[in-house]
Structure formats: C-alpha cells, structure tokens
Amino acid sequence: MPRHLTLTLATRQVSCRVQLLDDLAPATCAAVWDALPLAGDAYHAKFARNEVYALLPRITAAPRRENPTVTPIPGDVCLFDFEPWEIGHPAYGYEPGTTAHAAGSQGGATDLALFYDRNNLLLNGDVGWVPGNVFGTVVAGLEAMAAACNDLWRNGFAGERLVFERE
C-alpha cells in the first residue's frame, strides 16, 4: 500500500498530495516519514529554477545519496543533505534568527524541496552539482501548487511556511 504525505504552503493555504517512492528510495522515505510532521520557512530557489523548499534541522537518518537526480521534473519531491559549510555563506541570504540560518550553522541541514515546473538543473556555482534524493512524486494538486509557488517567486516568500505532514 503506497504511503502519502501532504505538502502545504501554509499562508497561501494550498496543498498537494505526495506519494512516497518507497520502492526507489526506501531509506530516504523512512527517514522523512519518521521525522514528520516537519515545517520550515519557505524559500524559492535562486539557482535550480522552479523549486520551493524548506531548510530544516538535519534528518540524521537520511542517506547521503539514494535515487539521486540533478534534473528534477515537475512533481518531484527531493531531500538534500547539507553540511554547515555547504550552506553557511552569507550570499545565500539566510538571515540570523531564521530556521534556515540555525540549521545551516549547527550541524548542517536537511532541505526538503518541491519542483513544480520544468527545466530544473541542480548546479550551484559555489559547489558544483547538487544531487537530490527523489523520494516522492505529486499525485494530486500540482497545478494549484505550481500557481502558488509561482506567486511565491513573483510576490515574495516572507512569512510563508512549507509544511510536510503524514496523510
């Protein structure tokens, strides 16, 4: 029986349903499932294009690489595991006092991300390729979520939260 989670942009009150890819990324799915519910400040990607994500305290049980990609497609939900040095640079804009800044400076961070449109490339000018573990796929609500993510890009993400919950 497939497992599902709900991914929500809380302020915009938009959700989508995500099916876990237990067959392709069993360790990542287990680590995320066991850590749920999770929520953090929502950010829109600078480099990857059509990505909305939350940086959270590190999920230590998450594997470093499992079902990785550098070219996520619409509906992919990915986990990235970062060491503090990989995300701590001030150019990334994570303000002191935010969850992202704290996560990045205290033992690394887990980045849970939704890719909502095409033409994504996970290449960072500071560190090179940044593969993510694809552990879920959106099975309902992608169109409404993509519209909300695009609104986040165009009108700002201040005050928005990205929430991951078991269904």
CATH topology of domain 4-155: Cyclophilin (2.40.100)
Q: In 42-89, where does DSSP find H-type helix?
A: 84-87
Token representation of residue 46: 């600078």
Q: What is the pLDDT of residues 43-66, one digit of tens each?
A: 999 888 999 999 888 898 888 899
Q: What is the pTM of this model?
A: 0.92
Q: What is the pLDDT of residues 122-157, one digit of tens each?
A: 998 777 899 999 999 999 999 999 999 999 999 988
Q: Please, what is the average pLDDT of the chain?
A: 90
Domain chopping of the chain, boundaries: 4-155
Q: What is the pLDDT of residues 6-26, one digit of tens each?
A: 999 999 999 999 999 999 999
- Rounded distance between C-alpha atoms, residue 164 and residue 146, angstroms: 16
Q: What is the pLDDT of residues 101-111, one digit of tens each?
A: 555 566 778 99
Q: How far is CA 155 from CA 12, 14, 134, 152, in A?
A: 12, 16, 28, 5
* Look-up of token digits 């000018």: 125
Residue 145 phi/psi, 5-degree rounding, is: -65, -40
The contacts of residue 72 (CB under 8 Å, 6+ apart) are 48, 51, 78, 113, 115, 120, 122, 132, 134
